[in-house]
């Protein structure tokens, strides 16, 4: 019997959180090996574990996988969260990439210089309410089904619901005019595996605060 997937990253959201969400939604238990010092990262680099000298890295099925999207696609394929054919996978990829575009803007917000933060937040809110959320609301409205693709849970739904939580953290009012997205968020959040992941004490990570930002900068040697 194969062991649990082992996730190598620092103890924060970053580019690993979407992988945690996807594994959790698939009902997969996983272990985390936290990178706590720059030397921990150096060790992974020096022993050949990181193909491109960077994390996230996930040990799964005898492989050491890097590159977030490659990891997500493997997990989605393995646990049947990637559609039934090429056309469904194309839609799932397209929707997932849109989620990643907005998600990256939100994820990188803590790195924004203080004098530019208000303008960046305004830009993110504008993109959220005028571009990304209307696009996803339109998809759900177009077919009237419970999930984005093929009326079946896929990685696109999980990534989108994770993003909706981050949008709410930024400003809860941003979701007000998107009833179908709110319905999707409730539906996915009530799935037993996701519900468990959303409980206090799970492996889900809290929002990035100043202390966690400084820790990440120290570990990854970001000036």
User: What's the mean pLDDT when you consider all of the chain?
Assistant: 96
Residue 222 is predicted with a pLDDT of 82
Residue 171 is predicted with a pLDDT of 96
Cα 119 to Cα 113, 122, 215, distances in angstroms: 11, 5, 26
Of the candidates 184, 103, 182, the residue with the CA atom closest to the CA atom of residue 148: 184
Residue 210 is predicted with a pLDDT of 87
Which pairing describes strands 57-60 and 6-9: parallel, antiparallel, or unpaired? antiparallel
Residue 1 has pLDDT above 60, yes or no: no
Residue 2 has pLDDT above 90, yes or no: no
**What are phi and psi for residue 185, nearest 5 degrees?**
-60, -45
Q: What percent of the chain has pLDDT over 70?
A: 99
CB atoms within 10 A of CB 212: 18
Round to whole Å and give the CA distance between 88 and 119: 37
Round to whole Å and give the CA distance between 195 and 11: 21
Sheet holding 31-34, edge to edge: 31-34, 6-9, 57-60, 63-66
Q: Are 149 and 83 in contact (CB under 8 A)?
A: yes
Residue 223 has pLDDT above 90, yes or no: no
In DSSP terms, which residues pair with 33 in a beta bridge?
Answer: 8
Give the pLDDT confidence of 70-111 residue by residue, as tens digits: 999 999 999 999 999 999 999 999 999 999 999 999 999 998
């Amino acid at each position: 019997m194969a062991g649990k997937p082992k996730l190598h990253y620092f103890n924060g959201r970053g580019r690993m959180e979407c992988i945690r969400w996807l594994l959790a939604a698939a009902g997969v238990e996983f272990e985390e090996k936290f990178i706590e010092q720059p030397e921990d990262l150096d060790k992974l680099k020096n022993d050949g574990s990181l193909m491109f000298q960077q994390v996230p890295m996930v040990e799964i099925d005898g492989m050491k996988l890097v590159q977030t999207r490659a990891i997500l696609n493997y997990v989605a394929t393995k646990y049947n969260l990637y559609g039934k054919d090429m056309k469904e996978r194309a839609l799932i990829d397209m929707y997932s990439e849109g989620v990643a575009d907005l998600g990256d803007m939100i994820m990188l917000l803590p790195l924004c210089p203080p004098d530019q933060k208000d303008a960046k937040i305004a830009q993110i809110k504008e993109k959220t309410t005028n571009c990304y959320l209307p696009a996803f609301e339109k998809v759900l409205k177009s077919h009237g089904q419970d999930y984005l693709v093929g009326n079946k849970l896929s990685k696109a739904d999980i990534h989108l619901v994770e993003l909706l939580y981050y949008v709410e953290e930024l400003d809860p009012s941003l979701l007000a005019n998107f009833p179908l997205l709110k319905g999707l968020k409730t539906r996915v959040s009530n799935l037993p595996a996701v519900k468990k992941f959303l409980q206090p004490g799970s492996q889900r990570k809290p929002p990035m605060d100043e202390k966690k930002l400084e820790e990440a900068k120290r570990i990854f040697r970001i000036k």
